[in-house]
Structure formats: C-alpha cells, structure tokens
A and B are shown apart, each in its own frame.
Chain A
Amino acid sequence: AQKVTQAQTEISVVEKEDVTLDCVYETRDTTYYLFWYKQPPSGELVFLIRRNSFDEQNEISGRYSWNFQKSTSSFNFTITASQVVDSAVYFCALSPRGSTLGRLYFGRGTQLTVWP
C-alpha cells in the first residue's frame, strides 16, 4: 500500500521564524520519488522540490531545505526565516515507480500561517 501521512494539520509561526513540516510515507516499492507542493489560497499546486529514493543527501535551496531519511521513511521540509507569503497549505507526495508509475499519492496537507 502507498500512503503519505502529514500529522501536523496546522502550524502558526511569526515571520522570520524557521518552520519544519513533517512527512512520513509508506511504500513497498524500492524506487520512488518524494515531492513537496505548495497550495496558496488560489488553489494551484506549486511544485517545490523532488527527491528520489536513491539520494538521501539533504540539500538547501534558498530558504528551503529538506531532510530525507529512508530508515524512518520521513521526508521533512524546512522553511528558514519564514515570510507572510509562505502562508499556504503544503502537501507531501509520493510517486512510486512500480505498477503505479506516474501516479501521485498525497498527504492531507499542513496549513502554514505566517503572521507578520
């Protein structure tokens, strides 16, 4: 079974604080991709980052960074020095490369509110 769990329903922070969004996934596929998408109030899902299952190197891209740990099936996402414009719903998604290649499995999302 393929499953993505985002235990944090809502997070509120004050501008300039760092915030980490948690994601835990389940899959029996040995090859897969993990994603983070952002959904502002307009509704469009915006692609942020992608990681494949063979690359556990953590990276930083601007104010975004991610921590992929295969041992704990976690793919956490951190925004450094948050801004009001970061307020949105953030979705973690799994794309297995087996029989369901091309299909995204989403978590329920985490609503992030950044206060000025």
Chain B
Amino acid sequence: DAGVTQSPTHLIKTRGQQVTLRCSPKSGHDTVSWYQQALGQGPQFIFQYYEEEERQRGNFPDRFSGHQFPNYSSELNVNALLLGDSALYLCASSDLAGDADTQYFGPGTRLTVL
C-alpha cells in the first residue's frame, strides 16, 4: 500500500521565480492538504483540495495556488518566490468519506530560495 509521495525532494530557486511541487495521495484517499513548515516551526496549513476544488484556505497570499487532478494527485504552485518561502512543504492526504480527520503526510519537498 503506497503512502503519500512528493516530488521533488529538494529544490533550489532564486527570488522571483516560480515553482511547482507535486503530491500523490495515499491509495484510497481523495483529499489533499498542503502545509508549509519553516525551520523550527510547526506546519502551517496552506489549503486543501477535494473533488478538484479548493475547500478551504489558510492565511497565505494568492501567490500560492494549487490544483487537484481527477486521479486525486495535486500540485502546489508558488509564484514570485521570496526568501521567506524557503521551507519544507508537506502534503497530506485523507479520506473525506471515511476517516476524514486523520491526515497522512508525505516526506516533503525542501524548497530553498536564494
């Protein structure tokens, strides 16, 4: 049973560039959430996707956008990168119709903005 997978593992970008991170949910899961974890902090909720639509959103600017595909996989896009966007980006999946409250996390993508 495959868990949550994310790609790439690491990414280095420069200020002003755009980045796309990818996530495949755990088998049987239909909901994907994205979190940003700055160094030494707890994860912060960015947004959540279900049925290819954004269900709810945390306190992040519009530079952060996402997408969910029919196969439930998801992308996180960040435009006009800032130094402060450097963080570990975590994807989590859950089964909205089942055990919706328990989210399972992937290994994360570490983004460094120079």
Contact = CB atoms under 8 A, between A and B. Distances in A.
Nearest to A95: B101
B48 A106 contact: no
Interface in B79-93: 88, 90, 92
A97 B101 contact: yes
A105 B33 CA distance: 12
Contact of B101 (A33, A37, A45): A33
Interface string B81-114: 0000000101010101000111111111010000
Interface residues of A, number: 25
Interface residues of B, number: 28
Interface stretch (B12-20, B37-45, B67-75): B37-45
A37 B107 CA distance: 13
A104 B41 CA distance: 14
A102 B31 contact: yes
Given A102-B101, A107-B42, A108-B40, 7 more contacts: A33-B101, A33-B102, A44-B105, A47-B105, A102-B33, A102-B94, A102-B96
Interface of B: 31, 33, 35, 40-45, 48, 55-56, 58, 88, 90, 92, 94, 96, 100-108, 110
